[in-house]
Structure 1
């Protein structure tokens, strides 16, 4: 028989067994909030909105492996508004998840360029009325070139929420007017680019027709076509113009890259929802 005074491990085991017996005698302990999930977490009732998980951390990512490269960067100011920071993180996490899914599905026999994700978040506006972050980058998972990544996040500090294009301009005549103005400027810019290329008349006509069709298809009077926009602000912090940003393929071929149309306040204000006219400069 072992000497209990010289067997610390045996004493520990006996203590644990005794604790288990006491617990059984007392009956089953009630479930604590931590038992259903993370420590201290309380699950929402069915149908309720998820509970606030608190502020998120936006950490730059630099990851290099034999199969892929990832680079993601955030400006320090992106942490000013936790709700906005959560949206930025969600966008970055989704882009990373898409890349990793492609990496996992890649055939071992496939050779060629390394897969990569490059994503940069940049502050474009910071006033008491509006705060905006631009996300730009690309994800390469094979093919001739990478897939563009482009998003704009406009935050209203006073309301602690994101401002979307559908909030800013009401459906109907407002978007009809915006569509008409944007199309006119894109067609003019296209014509000027083709003139600078000094093309043969037949080739110029063909490119004008094909690219013009892409402009018309990508600038219909629906809010989703104008979802990526930046507020341009003056010295007083009010909006003096809206810059609509279009990724490659929406209003032109990949070779044309990102395209931008800026509409000044005097043209936009008649179509702005009354609730948000306070954001704009006085005329």
Structure 2
């Protein structure tokens, strides 16, 4: 699994058990009885970080909306702390040596969706600890403000068979995009065949019907504030080489809705 999966595991371990175990009873504006009974989580202080040292640079920025929701603030800080911890471990490994270029961590959290029902935050950045380029950092946090808890892909779509259908849809879109990119470059036929073969294998491996492969997603809202689709986000190396960058596939609500857990269908247009 990819480097980002390791950070996500650290994040989940850092979240309070009350957040992991709480289950929403409703998607209506009124808070559920279970949510009301959940002990409040103290919000950690979220302050943008700028650190400079001859051996490393760190820049981390947080979105203002996170300060409204203690659980979300804790999740973002845990992710950032995990990324910073990895960088500092690499710096410590230098000992008295100086890197040819300073190690650095650049991480920005930005608001994607902010409504009374949903808050979605994107984490994007990179961590450089030597080599030709930095390691990408990518995560998405979809928050249910009324329960102050994260909505995961597994919780949203709990049926394993449903992920087979979603994976097939996503794979088809990625293969189509791949074909268009290769055709635009117009390589010789033999080279084209090899490029498509290698990239298709990465797509197949990165889109097996495991919810972990689709853990990073963004809700796409319509004019009425309901979800009209989910945009699944794939970091470099998951479904293509580093040069292809971040890739996304938007799956419309019409495809998703029959597979969505009943308690969350009200968030979707047509649900």
Q: Which TM bucket (shorter chain)? A: 0.7 to 0.9
Q: Does 1:65 align with 2:50?
A: no
Q: Does 1:83 align with 2:83?
A: no
Report the counterpart of residue 138 of structure 2 in structure 1: 150
Deviation at 1:108, TM superposition (A): 3.2
The higher relative CO (CA closer than 8 Å, separation ≥ 6) is in 2
Task: Give the superposed CA RMSD.
Answer: 1.3
Counterpart Cα distance in 2 of 1:159 and 1:97: 29
Deviations 1:187-236 (A, max 9, x none): 00000000000100000000000000000000001100000000011222
Deviation at 1:129, TM superposition (A): 1.3
Which 4+ stretches in 1 moved above 4 angstroms? Answer: none
Do the aligned partners of residues 67 and 52 (structure 1) sit closer, same or farther apart at CA in structure 2, a change above 3 Å counting? Answer: farther
Match of 1:114 among 62, 78, 102: 102
Report the counterpart of residue 195 of structure 1 in structure 2: 183
Counterpart Cα distance in 2 of 1:221 and 1:156: 25
Contact 2:70/2:148 (8 A) holds in 1:
no
Counterpart Cα distance in 2 of 1:139 and 1:267: 36
The structure having more radius of gyration, on CA atoms, is 1
Counterpart Cα distance in 1 of 2:153 and 2:160: 13
Do the aligned partners of residues 131 and 103 (structure 1) sit closer, same or farther apart at CA in structure 2, a change above 3 Å counting? Answer: same
Q: Which deviates more from structure 2 when the two are superposed, residues 176-185 or residues 99-108?
A: 99-108
Counterpart Cα distance in 2 of 1:169 and 1:75: 28
Report the counterpart of residue 242 of structure 2 in structure 1: 254
Match of 2:111 among 119, 123, 145: 123
Q: Does 1:137 align with 2:128?
A: no
Q: Structure 2: which 5+ runs fail to align?
A: 1-38
Report the counterpart of residue 32 of structure 2 in structure 1: none
Aligned residues: 233
Report the counterpart of residue 269 of structure 1 in structure 2: 257
3-state DSSP of counterpart to 1:237: coil
Report the counterpart of residue 175 of structure 1 in structure 2: 163
Deviations 1:30-87 (A, max 9, x none): xxxxxxxxxxxxxxxxxxxxx9662111100011111100000011112111100000
Counterpart Cα distance in 2 of 1:202 and 1:110: 45
Report the counterpart of residue 209 of structure 2 in structure 1: 221
TM-score (norm 2): 0.83
Counterpart Cα distance in 1 of 2:240 and 2:119: 29
Q: Does 1:233 align with 2:209?
A: no
Counterpart Cα distance in 2 of 1:131 and 1:191: 35
Report the counterpart of residue 154 of structure 2 in structure 1: 166
Q: Which deviates more from structure 2 when the two are superposed, residues 210-219 or residues 52-61?
A: 52-61
Counterpart Cα distance in 2 of 1:88 and 1:144: 28
Q: Structure 1: which 5+ runs fail to align?
A: 1-50
Contact 2:55/2:99 (8 A) holds in 1:
no
Contact 1:138/1:146 (8 A) holds in 2:
yes
